Chain A
Amino acid sequence: MSDLFTRSVPHRGRVLLAKIGLDGHDRGVKVVARMLRDAGFEVVYTGLRQTPEMVVAAAIDEDVDCVGVSMLSGAHLALVPPVIDGLRARGSDVPVVVGGIVPDRDVPVLTAAGVAAIMLPGISADDVAATIDAAIASR
């Protein structure tokens, strides 16, 4: 059973969750935000309709350990690599993970662009937390 909802877990890191682009479907990102909090992460949520530049700025200002991008619209190839490029251009090595809908054929493209992990539909809360732990540990 999940330990996600027991609150006495140690602090696991600071995560920025972001919605990039025009898509307003925020059910998933909000649920993930609350579950990560329950699991001991500190979570900052950008709100809707961010540009890659806004996410880069927020990640640096908030000094986070990991950036999680929620992508459901299919625009991941256009919108996620600029986040990574922007972070690296500003000297940040903070890992970027993606959650949402990514067709199989786009997975290697995102990985090559530097995405640390891609989380697909059906993943459990424990696995989301473990994936973010691993991304943070890989820094």
Chain B
Amino acid sequence: MSDARSRWQESYDASTLRPGAFGTMSGLPLEPVYGPDDGEFPGQFPYTRGPYSSMYRSKHWTMRMFAGFGTATDTNLRFKDILANGGDGLSTAFDLPTLMGCDSDDPLSLGEVGRCGVAVDTIEDMAELFGGIDLEATTTSMTINSPAAPIFAMFLAAAEDAGSRRTHIGGTLQNDIMKEFQAQKEFIFPPRPSLRLVRDTMAFCAAEMPRWHPISVSGYHIREAGSTAAQELAFTLANGFAYVELGMRAGLAVDDFAPRLSFFFNAHLDFFEEIGKYRAARRIWARWMRDRYGAELERSLQLRFHTQTAGVSLMAQQPEVNIVRTAIEALAGVLGGTQSLHTNSMDETLALPTEKSARIALRTQQVIAHETGVTNVADPLGGSWFVEAMTDELERCAEEIFAHIDQLGGGSILDGVVQGIEDGWFQAEIADAAYELERKRNDGRDVIVGVTDFLEGNDEPQPDILYIDGSTEEIQRKRLAQVKANRNSGAVQAALARVRTDAADPEVNLMPALIEAGRARATMGEQMSAMAEVFGRWEERSQI
């Protein structure tokens, strides 16, 4: 046996496997992986074939469905429904005011409270949101960026008040501010103070929360904003390298925090390009972490990622067809070796999903996991000439982009990314790609089922959609008014004063002050305003 195969075999033999035989439907036995003895095996550097030797034979991906709407009470019920239906992780969608650091009673929040996600103003909402859910047993992901630090502080305080131990709470904070400036545009503070908050959460987790992932480096939104697959790959990994440099500049040893960086990619419709993208991502990360940043721990080199199917690929016409698009995209994520997956619901171009459409989306993952047999063999497409060529080509495209960013930053990816954001370079690259794609579409070069062709059925009425009326906003404002009426305002003012003082000293970690402010029932908006007094607010120069 070759060295590569025997090392893989040893690791595979030491893995815990799911129960059951791994064979085809017709009873043919299957190897855990196929390939030449002297080739690369899954779980081996540079991890092109997957981070683990046994992949889905040990454990399926986590079926992590993104949910959130209305008040904390509404979303808590949906969370419990997801767990009861076999979902095994939670993923929280916050409403736009929360994402933008505004309380529900802010004039800017008018019409948006609880609409695209759940409204969270204070620690009391956070306690209600996760009430009755064991946060040591279920991992929780929170999609929040500019206000990530105060929201995380509130979550932690609420979880501890409910009896969970900080060392045992597992989950992920998105907290990827770079892609907000580049793509999703939910920024509040300027780039540099924003990065200081990211640094503080990273350092806090490295010291106190061994099971928590403080950053989910996210390409999803970059792609949704219109980038190509190669740009999604390159910008996301460059952002990842930037966070590594940020941690190292803060004095953390790379192996003390890199194992808890995780990634989040899009799964779009071009099946093989997407699979090549995931394989290239793992390979690039491993090489750069070892060779450029000197990481030694295997966990620092292994890129692990969450996948969400492409929202932009869903069409409003004949929405049931979106189930098919989503299934194909989800399969690409699985064949690319994802660690967790969210499948979009068919009605998401129209509104937030109904309970039924969200259930079908989850069932899509369950069919892939339990009925198709694709989980028996690791990296089943490895060795395909086409897939290997795609992987190499995407890696080459990404390296070209890294070279440009490195040059922008004078030898630092961190400085290059910040410079590229401040110059509007990323934003312009993404907008150009979106425009080119749309041009191609309008020239009639692309067929889109139900939109450009195959229109029979387009005149059928829309399916029932989730309709959120204005009453949520009123209920949430009343809740907030009640919390404000019952809190100790002296304690709130003192806690906010400490937030201001700590914000002004870049050497201080803001997390303890934010935890204290959350416990004192300072609202998220109040905490963000206190920090904005010190940090200022960012405005984008809009170019078209």
Contact A48 B542 (CB under 8 A): yes
> Which of A25, A103, A124 is the one whose CB lies under 8 Å from B465?
A103
A122's nearest neighbour on chain B, judged by CB, is: B451
B120 nearest CB across to chain A (Å): 15
Query: Does B444 interact with chain A (Cβ within 8 Å)?
Result: yes
Contact B542 A120 (CB under 8 A): no
Query: Does B321 interact with chain A (Cβ within 8 Å)?
Result: no
Contact A73 B465 (CB under 8 A): no
> Which of B112, B185, B435, B450 is the one whose CB lies under 8 Å from A34?
B435
Tell me if B's interface is mostly helix, strand, loop or mixed. loop
Contact-residue bracket for chain B: 35 or more
Q: How far is the CA of A33 from the CA of B180 in the complex (A)?
A: 21
Contact A4 B349 (CB under 8 A): no
Tell me if A's interface is mostly helix, strand, loop or mixed. loop
Q: In chain A, residues 1-57, which have Cβ atoms closer than 8 Å to a Cβ of chain B?
A: 1-2, 4-5, 21-27, 30-31, 33-35, 37, 43, 45-49, 51
Summed over the interface, the residue pairs from A and B with CB atoms below 8 Å come to a total of 117
Q: In chain B, residues 151-182, which have Cβ atoms closer than 8 Å to a Cβ of chain A?
A: 180
Contact A27 B224 (CB under 8 A): yes
Answer whether A35 and B315 are a contact pair too, CB < 8 Å, given A2-B443, A103-B465: no
How many A residues touch B, CB cutoff 8 Å? 40
Contact B110 A73 (CB under 8 A): no
Q: Which of A74-82, A91-99, A108-116, A130-138 contacts B (4 or more CB under 8 A)?
A: A74-82
Answer whether A22 and B102 are a contact pair too, CB < 8 Å, given A1-B443, A35-B442: yes
A121's nearest neighbour on chain B, judged by CB, is: B316
Contact B350 A103 (CB under 8 A): yes
Query: Does A61 interact with chain B (Cβ within 8 Å)?
Result: no
Answer whether A125 and B116 are a contact pair too, CB < 8 Å, given A78-B111, A103-B465: no
B82 nearest CB across to chain A (Å): 22
Q: In chain B, residues 410-441, which have Cβ atoms closer than 8 Å to a Cβ of chain A?
A: 430-431, 434-435, 438-439
Residue of B110, B315, B349, B430 with most partner-chain A CB within 10 A? B110
Query: Which residues of A have CB within 8 Å of B434?
Result: 27, 30-31
A42 nearest CB across to chain B (Å): 12
B352 nearest CB across to chain A (Å): 8
Query: Does A105 interact with chain B (Cβ within 8 Å)?
Result: yes
Query: Which residues of A have CB within 8 Å of B205?
Result: none
Query: Which residues of A have CB within 8 Å of B350?
Result: 101, 103
Query: Which residues of B have CB within 8 Å of A75?
Result: 96, 110-112, 115
Q: How far is the CA of A128 from the CA of B210 in the complex (A)?
A: 52
Query: Does B529 interact with chain A (Cβ within 8 Å)?
Result: no
Query: Does B240 interact with chain A (Cβ within 8 Å)?
Result: no
Query: Which residues of B have CB within 8 Å of A77?
Result: 111
Query: Does B351 interact with chain A (Cβ within 8 Å)?
Result: yes
Query: Does B544 interact with chain A (Cβ within 8 Å)?
Result: yes
A52's nearest neighbour on chain B, judged by CB, is: B110
Query: Does B481 interact with chain A (Cβ within 8 Å)?
Result: no
Contact A73 B112 (CB under 8 A): yes
Q: How far is the CA of A48 from the CA of B180 in the complex (A)?
A: 13
Residue of A2, A30, A47 with most partner-chain B CB within 10 A? A30
**Pairs A–B under 8 Å by Cβ, sample size 10:** A22-B112, A24-B185, A27-B224, A30-B431, A46-B542, A77-B111, A78-B470, A104-B461, A105-B467, A122-B451
Q: A5-B439, A79-B110, A121-B349 are in contact. List 5 more A-B contacts (CB 8 A).
A: A48-B540, A48-B542, A49-B108, A73-B116, A78-B111
Which positions in A face B, CB cutoff 8 Å?
1-2, 4-5, 21-27, 30-31, 33-35, 37, 43, 45-49, 51, 73-75, 77-79, 101, 103-105, 120-122, 124-126
Which 4 residue pairs spanning A and B have beta carbons closest together? A78-B111, A24-B185, A75-B111, A47-B542
